Chains A and B, each alone.
Chain A
Amino acid sequence: MSDTIKKAVVLEQGGILCGLGTLEETVTDLFEGASAIVPGPCFGVPVAYAPFKDIAWRSLDASAKALAPCIDLSSVDGERTVFIFCAAKGDISPIEEYCTVKKAPGAFLPLLSSQAEYAKNILGISAARTIVISDACASGATGVEVGRELLLAGRAGAVVVFGFDGISRFVATGFHSLAALSPSGARPFDANRDGLTIGDGAAVALLTYREPYRDDIVVAGAGSSNDANHRTGPSRTGEGLFRAAQAALADAAMRPENIGGVKCHGTATNYNDAMEAKALFSLFGAEIPPCFSMKGAIGHTSGAGSLVEILIAAECLRRRLAPPTAGFSELGVDEKIPVSASSQHLRGKSLLCLSAGFGGINAAVVLSEAA
């Protein structure tokens, strides 16, 4: 009697572009405690920001070109491939150019459907259908969750998830009007944190559903929820993020003690970090595993950000290490969250990735080592 083949949703390949560069560059620099945050002004707004390491990447065209080599679709059936484009706003240049100098749109419209088609062609992807997921700053993670659901339901043979969100005057002035931006740079979970730092981000990932190899990283589970509280602020108790994390654990058939570490949302706003700490305490009690936030190093890379961070988190999981939380020095939340300015050993082979966005949207993804 043969063993039943145990399939899993495998994170086959991926690539990112952000302030610290490509995936390899970013992971190396993260573990050295580096940060891509530079002083402002950012489009006239007097705040620090985290631009792409190569500023040319800020166009959808250039990012998609740069990320195309990161996925190899030669063994994947285009007839059963679904392309999922994730963004909060994507490349907003057509709107800005039209509104300021009345320039008609060129290669693509600001509509995310148009950006998705454009990116898909540049990436060289043949897909049976294209889905655009725009769930605010949880877009990328929700895209991964949807990809997993489609694969498990047999609605796709392979899923390519792509995210892009670039800094713009639109976004910089907008967050500034919400008094959400730190003048000098994000300090996640820190006692002196004073707001978030916007960053450029782009990423691509290939997901398949097959029997995993020993060194594969799998998307073991995913879950999401809504705080039902406020247009932009999270619920004060962290209840929504807690339920999303619970749903992800249930989806992965895991318990909190199976989690080796947490890739936090950690935007460094007063409310997010306080809320997230409460959510983590609700989930883990006193035994919270090592936690880290990347937003003091690469900024808050918006909708694409949750995909960027999941891919970086996968590399951290391979190393069984949580990177330093750049910008952190003294804990500034009520709960004892193990955030550190140094690397920490993960306490297990699974990583919980959390993200949250405007409109109370929360998304959680569990990554695991296959073996």
Chain B
Amino acid sequence: METLINTLKGQIISTLKLSDVKPEDIDVDAPLVGGGLGLDSIDTLELLVLLEKEYGVTVPDVNIGRKVFGSVRSLAVYIEENRPKEK
């Protein structure tokens, strides 16, 4: 889980092109949207693309989305629970 969280931090920074932000700056339990990172609705859509592209995971509706993007940790948990299992 910790490995995934660390990887996710890097991917969030590079996918969302967050300049001036280093992985150690990101609080894994702080809200992703409306938090210190200043993410807006387009960034959320980019994270949806990231989830699908890198992890094969989709978010079926807005309400689940709100929980999923609650924090980096909740994002990691969602990925772990929903990523296609290796055969």
| Cβ-defined contact, B49 with A177, below 8 A | yes
Segment of B4-12, B14-22, B39-47, B69-77 in the binding face? B39-47
| Cβ-defined contact, A230 with B45, below 8 A | no
- In chain A, what residue has the closest Cβ to B62? A179
- Which residues of A lie under 8 Å from residue B40 when comparing CB positions? 230-231
B contact residues, total (Cβ < 8 Å): 5
| 8 A Cβ contacts from A206-255 to B | 230-233
**Chain B binding surface, main DSSP class:** helix
| Cβ-defined contact, A233 with B41, below 8 A | yes
- Which residues of B lie under 8 Å from residue A232 when comparing CB positions? 41-42
- In chain B, what residue has the closest Cβ to A179? B45
- In chain B, what residue has the closest Cβ to A178? B45
**Chain A binding surface, main DSSP class:** loop
| Cβ-defined contact, A231 with B45, below 8 A | no
Interface flags for B38-73 (1: CB within 8 Å of A; 0: not) read 001110010001000000000000000000000000
Distance (whole angstroms) from the CB of A40 to the closest CB of chain B:
20
- Which residues of A lie under 8 Å from residue B45 when comparing CB positions? 177-179
| 8 A Cβ contacts from A159-190 to B | 177-179
Distance (whole angstroms) from the CB of B55 to the closest CB of chain A:
18
C-alpha gap A230/B41 in the complex (Å) = 9
Binding site for A on B (CB under 8 A): 40-42, 45, 49
Known: A231-B40, A231-B42, A232-B41. 4 other contacts (CB 8 A): A177-B49, A178-B42, A230-B40, A230-B41
